[in-house]
Structure 1
Amino acid sequence: MNVFLIIAGALSAVVAILHIGCIYFGAPWYRFFGAGEQMALLAERGSIQPTLITSGIVLVLSIWSIYAFSAAGVIVRLPLLRLALILITFIYLLRGVAGFFLVSSPMGRSPEFWMWSSLICLSFGIIHFIGLKQQWSNL
């Protein structure tokens, strides 16, 4: 079992659960987590759009969590495990780095959102990378 990939899977699962909280608790959670005022207003108006977008994010993060647990050896081996972990790691790292470039032009979100979410994604990417490197020969 690979501790870094177990942590990576747990982190993705926690973030998926927080996104479920946004769906359930609505506009205050969307605001708190920096989804932008437009998303919060849509949630307040009862629009289905925030729920659909956030549900998509929950689905992706849940799949990423399951793949990390699979690569760690906690659950059954999933298909395309090596490729999936490479892509997940790359996306987390790319999102982490790219977000820093959006701090000065936040596109409806706060600069703090981009700073914090980028640090989080970059950290998740690094944890995935370490775990992937350690497990490489077993994937």
Structure 2
Amino acid sequence: MNPNSNKFLLAAALCCALAALAHLGCILFGADWYRFFGAGEQMAAMAEQGLWYPTIVTLGLVCILFIWAAYALSGAGAIKQLPLTKLALVIITSIFLLRGVSFVGLMPMFPDNSITFWLVSSVICLFIGGLFAVGTVQQWSKLRAKGVN
């Protein structure tokens, strides 16, 4: 790994990968994990019934989180530059921060989720979004100093 890698984006990548693994655990270990992580009784019950919906939704989140981890690594300079890395980092940062602050508006759409779920997941999203934000600003500053657009 490059010793000049952006530590904030590396931390964001690690957080995304850990979140992806936690979601993968829900798929692998079922209803008890959905309940533990506060996904709601409806998701847990569907997982117990063997329905595909929880698996598909959760697998989608797993894929997104792993892709976001890859973009964080790319932005950090730890792996090869991915297409549209700058744009992706801005979008990922925005999504995390927006999700972190908009939970009150989202709660009515997911009434099964516990208040603990909303508070904990929102703090986590704000934390990861902050890592992406600081790391992205640092990377752009480095590139600007080198004269790279």
Question: What TM-score bracket applies, with the shorter chain setting the length?
Answer: over 0.9
Distance 1:87 1:106 in 2: 24
CA drift of 1:108 comes to 1.3
- Are 1:124 and 2:128 an aligned pair? yes
| Contact map agreement 1:100 1:115 (CA 8 A) in 2 | no
1:68 pairs with 72, 80, 83, which one? 72
What is the aligned residue count?
A: 139
Q: 1:110 aligns with which of 114, 120, 135?
A: 114
Kindly report which structure 2 residues correspond to 1:1-139, keeping only aligned pairs within 5 A, or say none.
1-102=5-106, 107-137=111-141, 138=143
Please tell me whether the aligned partners of residues 12 and 65 of structure 1 are also in contact (alpha carbons under 8 angstroms): yes
Gaps of 5+ in 2: 144-148
Measure, in 2, the Cα distance between the counterparts of 1:104 and 1:58: 24
* Deviation (angstroms), 1:99: 1.2
Once the two structures are TM-superposed, the CA of residue 104 in structure 1 deviates from its matched residue by 8.3
* Structure with larger Rg: 2
Q: How many percent identity over aligned positions?
A: 51
Normalised TM-score (structure 2): 0.88
The one-letter code matched in structure 2 to 1:129 is A
State the superposition RMSD in angstroms: 1.6
Q: Deviations over 1:25-56 (max 9, x none)?
A: 00000000011000000000011111101000
In structure 1, how many angstroms separate the alpha carbons of the residues matched to 2:104 and 2:125? 11
**Alpha-carbon distance in 2 for matches of 1:38, 1:62:** 26
Which runs of at least 4 in structure 1 moved beyond 2 Å after TM superposition?
100-106
